[in-house]
Structure 1
Amino acid sequence: MANRMTITATAPPDGGYGWVIVVCFLIINSCLLPLTQCFGIIYGKQFSDMNITAAEISFLLHLNNSVMCSLGLFSGPLLKRFDFRQVSFMGSCLVCLGILATAFAKSYEALIVTVGIIIGAGQGILMPGMYIAVNSYFKRRLTLAISVQVTGASLTQIFMPQVCRFLLEEYDVQGTILILAGISLNVIPMAILLRPLKKPDPPPVQQTQSDHELESSEKGHVSERLLSPVYRETTVPAKNKQRRCAGIIKMLDLELFADRVYVIIIIGMGISFVSELNVILMTPFILDELAGFAKKDVATAMSVQASADIIGRLVIPIIAHRGGVPSKVMYIISLLGSSLGRTVLSIYYGEYYVVFLACAIVGLSKGIKAVFQSVIIPKHVSPDRLAAATGLNMISNGILSLILGPLIGWSHDISESYVYSLHVATALSLFCVALWTVDYLLSPKKPSQIEGP
């Protein structure tokens, strides 16, 4: 029976209030994405005037992602201690504070603190809570629910570049970010609406001790009293240390690293995540330098990319579901598509309309990837291990982002061209394709191991 705070259920309802959760997730993403999505439009000229290099820009954006993902290590224990509504609320407040503080950041170092650390930390707390919320309400319709939420959130990406361009012309950088900070405040009531499911209480089990157990317990106490001081000082602390280590392993579910398939999944997703994220966030800088686009053209290209993104999020998953195509295969297809788009852009960046075509290909692939990257891990691990598996995946993404992300920026600074940065990003994406393909070909095939769509 439902009450105001929770809904009691023995299994995911696959609908009902779950669609409210999806709408809340949609609005939260829509309110928080504009700053990072339009970061290049907002700060492009200012960074150029400050002579900030591509490596420094890349480091800033990847620091934000790395901090966000690194908190994934603690998302599992945090979500065991608090429900996902409480966790999401804490993250929402921190992100809003970070965006507001960014409006008053006047230097690159200040942006490191506000964008890289505060906003990154808030997102790192917020995202796992929302992710678990959706997975709590959906199982059979999980792919559909994720497709709806990420498609809806991407609608704002079509017009927000144009909105940010207009705001910059009217209110400059600080005024624009203050308005975005005001928009971000809408995430707080949305976080409050993330109503948790309450599992029914298990029937009470009466605990009894047999005579044998009592006798063993008494013998244990006697044996402990008879232990020599040296034995107690050396053996007991060792056992305590082992218990603490075992407790940490259990709390963080580090036993997941013994699952070879899971390890290969997070390595491939982590490396490809870095390459895809870098190009998406650096698109305004790439189009400005390579294609010589004005701010208006950059905003239009990003709107075209966002429009194609929506098709990739909404239409392609439905086709894949009806065709029974596994999630990992669709993820690989998305990486091949984005690699094709980047290659076209690196060769034909002087052709005005071909650049828009390349942006559309990258956007379509981004949309496909956004949906299927969210269902690969839930389809591989059991629901009780999902929070830990997601957290470990996020920490892997964070580490790889901080290591590999700046390399793409450095490749630009060394070659003085974004062409080589695009090629480096493509090589990283294709590494994931090769890794997963080789693993599939070398793994023994069992009917129970074949992944569903």
Structure 2
Amino acid sequence: MLEPHYGELNMPPAAATNLAHKPPDGGWGWAVVVAAFISIGFSYAFPKSLTIYFKEIQEYFSVSYSEIAWLSSVMLASMYAGGPVSSILVNRYGSRPVVMLGGLMVSAAMVLSSFGTTIIHLYLCVGVIGGFGLAFNLQPALTIIGTYFQAKRPLANGLAMTGSPVFLSILAPLNQFLFDSYGWRGSFLILGSVVFNCCVAGALMRPVSNQKPKGCLPPSNEAVDQGAVADAGPQTADSDPEEGQHEGKGQTQNSKLVDLTLFKHRGFLIYLVGNVVMFFGFFAPVVFLAPYAKHQGIDEYSAAFLLTIFALVDMFIRPFTGFLGNTRRIRPKIQYFFSFAVSYNGICHLLFPLASGYQGLVVYAVFFGVGFGMVSALLFEVLMDLVGAPRFSSAVGLVTIIECGPVLLGPPISGALVDTFGEYKYLYSTCGVLMLTPGIFFFVMHYFNYKKLEDEQKQKAAGEMRRPEETVELKSNNEANK
């Protein structure tokens, strides 16, 4: 267990789990990681892989770059906007049924979109229905990992988040093959059956036990999943005991909805502010990578292969990042690690104009894959580190509903830059600034946050030392009065 040693490093610990059960840190949890791998893989890779069809759909409906970019933006924004609804459902019914419902929704959305006659039809089917289905796949998968893992949680999160690049590396060339064979309508119909596998992933998400069976046997893993077990009064490393007790009451009252007391949580607010800016430039570089290559005269399969290269690098970086995040030196400072990852992405995009020819794009795809993988592997781990597992489901719901704005507007704004200037370098430079700025913000704010936490811990320790002395003094006064 890494947690007990944090104090020896003179760094604030990760937020306490405070669940109604002890996370097994293994066992069936690894099957749950596989299920989360599938669910998260579809959630993040599916919108990106659909960019293969953008040029053809754009010509079919005679729309602009910014209009076609709305397709992936609406899907991603719906996925983020569905966060609070998914949070409520997970807290009420557990992860398994919510993921299975999401799989059905995405499958139905792709089948319906194959009959689309206008771009608005695709916005509604692929964007709204499909996006909400992905929300029901993403958040439950992230939440259930926190109920199965504590000491190995960064590693488990890193492995689960690897699903995104693995699925992207498969879906990108698959979509190109399907388009060449069946056109975009036939491809969407086939993809509807492919994404139905999310229901299989949901079936693997067996709830964690939080009850002891009769006798002296250890707890089994077959009781009812309580989402993030929100009715436990949370006390994290980022709040004092009195505040934790006060917020615990609000958490209990709102356990079936959303914990709004998180807006008083210092670490959560730092995470939220930085991420809102970051997400304006997070997805657009991926969305426009293949279209830019085609714009440069590169053939379709080579353009699609850039996404495969990006995904392969991303695939290996995510578990490696999870491994590094789980080490004793980095885990207590994992917020700094995340700050570095965000800043690194910004620098990659700012250097994009230096990439010339197909070889230059390959080099960019490799370096971008490293940065994107680091951010993705740490994105939800650092949030859980700040707020703790019991409040994570509500925290994800609040973060995603707020982030849906930049997720929705980022790619269309970037597409508008291409329409205006006729070049892609302005798009990538803007995204670089939008990533580097929050990276620096995270470094500065987490430095002060860690210092504040250290001061609070010292005050708490000093208070505990004074209490025995006050008790002895009180007893002496009472004896003297007698």
Is the structural similarity TM-score above 0.5?
Answer: yes
Aligned to 1:90: 101
Helix, strand or coil for the counterpart of 1:252? coil
Residue matched to 1:139: 150
1:82–1:418 distance in 2 versus 1, CA, 3 Å: same
- In the alignment, is residue 303 of structure 1 matched against residue 308 of structure 2? yes
Structure 1 counterpart of 2:309, one-letter code: V
Counting only pairs closer than 5 Å after superposition, residues 155-304 of structure 1 correspond to structure 2 as 155-200=166-211, 251-289=257-295, 291-304=296-309
Alignment-derived partner of residue 406 in structure 1: 412
Cα deviations by residue, 1:154-189 (Å, 9 ceiling, x for unpaired):
223223322222222222112222222221121112
- Aligned residues: percent identity? 20
Corresponding residue SS for 1:275: coil
Change (3 A) 1:13 1:448: farther
Match of 2:398 among 392, 395, 398: 392
Aligned with 1:428 (options 434, 437, 440):
434
Letter in 1 for 2:297: G
CA distance in 1, matches of 2:452, 2:297: 51
Say whether the 8 Å CA contact 1:31–1:186 is kept in structure 2.
Answer: no
Kindly state the Cα deviation for residue 132 of structure 1 after the two structures are TM-superposed: 1.2
Picking from 337, 347, 357, the partner of 2:354 is 347
Question: Which residue, out of 53, 57, 62, partners 1:51?
Answer: 62
Relative to structure 1, the CA distance from residue 335 to residue 449 in structure 2 (aligned partners, 3 Å threshold; closer, same or farther) is: farther
2:323 to 318, 322, 343: 318
* 1:114-125 paired onto structure 2 within 5 Å: 114-125=125-136
Question: Shift of residue 247 of structure 1?
Answer: 6.1
1:61 aligned residue: 72
CA distance in 1, matches of 2:70, 2:174: 26
Q: Deviations over 1:51-89 (max 9, x none)?
A: 322222232222212221112223333222211112222
**C-alpha separation in 2, matches of 1:441 and 1:370:** 22
TM-score of the pair, normalised by structure 2: 0.76
Out of 331, 336, 340, the position equivalent to 1:329 is: 336
> Are the equivalent residues in 2 in contact too, given 1:25–1:130 (CA < 8 A)?
yes
TM-score by length of 1: 0.81
Q: Give the conservation status (yes or no) of the 8 Å contact 2:166–2:315.
A: yes
- SS of residue paired to 2:351: helix
- Secondary structure at the counterpart of residue 80 of structure 1: helix
- Closer, same or farther: CA 32–248 of 1 in aligned 2, 3 Å: closer
Indicate the residue corresponding to 1:14 in structure 2: 25
Assess if the C-alpha contact under 8 Å between 2:43 and 2:134 holds in 1: no
Q: What is residue 447 of structure 1 aligned with on the other side?
A: 454
Query: What code does the residue aligned with 2:390 have?
Result: D
Aligned counterparts of 1:346 and 1:433: Cα–Cα separation in 2 = 21
Q: How does 1:98-109 map to 2 (within 5 A)?
A: 98-109=109-120
Contact 1:310 1:364 in 2 (8 A): no
When residues 449 and 43 of structure 1 are mapped into structure 2, their CA distance, relative to the original with a 3 A threshold, is farther
* Contact preservation (8 Å) 1:65, 1:398: yes
Any conservation in 1 of the 2:156–2:322 contact (CA below 8 Å)? no
The secondary structure found in structure 2 opposite 1:373 is helix
What code does the residue aligned with 2:282 have? E
The 2-side partners of 1:405 and 1:299 are apart by 19
Distance 2:409 2:194 in 1: 33
Aligned-partner SS, 2:151: coil
Q: Is 1:372 matched with 2:378?
A: yes
Contact 2:50–2:175 (CA under 8 A) maintained in structure 1:
no
- What is the one-letter code of the residue matched to 1:383? A
Gaps of 5+ in 2: 1-18, 215-249, 458-482
Task: Say whether residues 1:363 and 2:374 are aligned partners.
Answer: no
**In the TM superposition, what is the alpha-carbon distance from 1:94 to its structure 2 partner?**
0.9
Aligned to 2:283, the other structure's residue is in SS state helix
User: How big is the shift at 1:122?
Assistant: 0.9
Q: Is the 8 A contact 1:9 1:198 kept in 2?
A: no
1:45 Cα offset (Å) = 2.3
> What is the distance in 2 between the residues matched to 1:449 and 1:425?
37
- Taking the aligned partners of 2:433 and 2:347, their CA distance within structure 1 comes to 11
Q: Distance in 1 between matches of 2:443 and 2:167?
A: 35
Aligned 8 A contact 2:346 2:434 in 1: no
8 Å Cα contact 1:75/1:388 also seen in 2: no
The 8 Å contact of residues 99 and 198 in structure 2, kept in 1 or not, is answered as: no
Kindly provide the CA deviation profile for residues 9-65 of structure 1, in whole angstroms up to 9, marking residues without a partner as x: 821101101111111122234456554222221232231353322222232222212
CA distance in 1, matches of 2:83, 2:46: 22
RMSD of aligned residue pairs (Cα, Å):
2.7
Residue 139 of structure 1 aligns to a residue whose secondary structure is coil
SS of corresponding position for 1:374 = helix
Distance 2:289 2:110 in 1: 21
Kindly indicate whether the alpha-carbon contact (under 8 Å) linking 1:341 and 1:359 is maintained by their aligned counterparts in 2. Answer: no
Deviations 1:100-141 (A, max 9, x none): 222222321111101110001111222211111111111111
**How many Å apart are 1:297 and its aligned residue?**
1.2
2:48 is aligned with 1:42:
no
CA distance in 1, matches of 2:321, 2:84: 32
Segment of structure 1 superposing worse, 168-177 or 10-19:
168-177
What runs of 5+ residues in structure 1 fail to find an aligned partner?
A: 1-7, 204-243
Q: Give yes or no for contact 1:89–1:192 (8 Å, CA) kept in 2.
A: yes
Moved more, 432-441 or 125-134: 432-441
Q: Is the 8 A contact 1:63 1:116 kept in 2?
A: yes
